[in-house]
Structure formats: structure tokens, C-alpha cells
Amino acid sequence: MNKKNSFLWGSATAAYQCEGGWQEGGKGLSNWDTFCHSEKNNINPVTGDIAADNYHKYEEDIKLLAKGGQNAYRFSLSWSRIIPQGVGAPSKEGLAHYKRVIEVCQKYHITPLVTLYHYDLPQSLYEAGGWESREIVFAFEAYARVCFEAFGELVDCWATVNEPNYETYCCYLVGNYPPNVTNLERRFKAMYHLILASAAAIKAFRSMQCKGSIGIVSDSYSIETLSDHPSYLDAARLANLFFNRSVNDVCVFGSYQQDFIEKLQSLGYDLTYMKEEDKKILESGIVDYLGINAYNRTLVKPYEGDTDIMSINNTGNSKQKTSLNLIHWFAY
């Protein structure tokens, strides 16, 4: 990056949301390929088979970024395009494709900011348990090493995972992302493995003496209440724990905060997936930077119910209501 032009102003994409080319270049199936071809789950009859056709039009797209005065492009790599089955030998075609994308960024003086994982998981790993499986942590580390080896000399800024909170929120609470369930306990297990995988990748990045910086991108929310009553302030504390600190504290400090652990224990959750040996990985995987995606505020109030409820409205009604035994949340 040219230090004279070090302020980055650009655009961002995610592989499944923009690439298309879902069966080209040796790419394997992802969980989103399967999800969007399922009549049962895909309530909106659309797929990412073509999307913005960025797989074929990446140079045209990057040229437009430069023409518009932008100097940065954040994009994600498709794990299933690089390692079609999630584990095993990488695809030469997949690696060559992303190398061309990065080189075109350089051609137009666009700084590439590369994300390793943005929601799309190789279908074979998804079928083996996805982020609820401990084995995926080590598969992700191996995938990260392939990417660092292939592109490390061309990329100065990496992100491991995009939005561990929001992805698992949609997968396991709202239930509109695969595996389409509503289960808070499974949600925190999956998120734990996402964060552990991020730390393992960062540890690998440093052991390989890669240049540049590496971090994670977190969706974080301003927590607000309409009252300063202690019960409202406690709801805000829990909401902050739920939406922000459950990711950010771990990535910045290298360990889970005790109040988060105690909250999960008070709900009766099985935390045996949190292994003692993981502490060293988390400590070694502290981020160089914390990326923040800020979408909206979170307005909370106390909730006295005893039922976990999470739903989403896809009809356009802006006042969807969600309820948890952690908080009562309204999003406007």
C-alpha cells in the first residue's frame, strides 16, 4: 500500500453473494449452493449460481472501483473453490483464479483486503457437522495455510472470519441460514469453534512469518435502553455480552470472560467442547486489528419469560420481534 495514499476507501463483497460460477473452475459444492437449491429451505426462489458474475467479470468490477475513486477492495475467498472438499489437495484452478483477482487489484492500484471465510462452507464439512464439529477448526487452519502460502506475498491485510456473531445468530436462532434451526446452545458451540478456528489461523499466520496484518471482522452493536432502571441496565449488560463481548473480548484479549462462561453455565449448557488446550490457541491468536461492521442499534428491555423464541419476517415488515431468555430485543 502506498503510504501517501494510506487512507483506504473502498467496497466489499462476499464470494457466494457475488461470484457465480458455482460449478466452474473445479469448485466444490458449498452449503449455500445446496441451501439455495433446496425448495424446502429457500423461501425466496433465488440462487447465487450467477449472482453478479464476478467470477468472470472481476476485472471489469475492479476497474469500476478505481474509476470511482476507490483504492481498496475487501473480498472473500471461497473455501470450496480453493479446497473443493474442504480438506485435502487444493485446486490449482481455484488458486490461479484468486491470484488473478489480486493481481488485477494491483494493476488498478486497489489494495486487496482478503477474508478467508464469509459464510460459505464446503458442503462435505457442513455434512460432517459444520462449525459444531471440533475437526473443522483444524481443517480451517490447514485451508488458511494454503491461502497464506499462495497469496502471502501479494496481500498485506487479512481477515479470518466474517461476523461469527451474525452468522451463528442466523443459523441457530433465527433459523434462516443453514442448518435452519433455533437452538441457542448449538449456536454458542458453533461460534466457539469459529473463534477458535480464527485464532488457529492467526497463530499459523505468525508461525509462517507472513507479512502484513491479520484480524477478524465482527458485527457490533450500540446497546441502548429507554430507561436507566437497574433491570434495564442489566438487560443492556446481557445484550452487550450476547452481541459484542462474546466475540470481541476473546479476539482482543485472547480468552473468554468469566461472566460469559457463567451465563452459559447458568442456562445449563454443556460446555465440554471448551478444552483446556484451546486456551493456548486463543492466547496465540489475538488479532492485529478488530474490524467492525456496524448496522444498527440494539434497543433492549428486561424479559421475564421462560421460553427461547427467535423468528424473522421476510415480508418487509420492519418491526420483527425476537425474544430470548438472555434479553428482549427489538430491532427497528
Per-10-residue mean pLDDT of the chain, 332 residues long, equals 72 98 98 90 84 98 98 98 98 98 98 98 98 98 98 98 96 89 93 98 98 97 94 92 95 96 93 98 98 92 68 46 43 29
pTM of the model: 0.92
CB-based contact 37:47 (threshold 8 Å): yes
CB-based contact 81:94 (threshold 8 Å): yes
For the chain, state the CA radius of gyration: 20
CA distance 204 to 154: 17
The sheet carrying 289-293 orders its strands as 10-12, 72-76, 111-117, 157-162, 213-219, 289-293
At residue 228, the pLDDT reads: 96
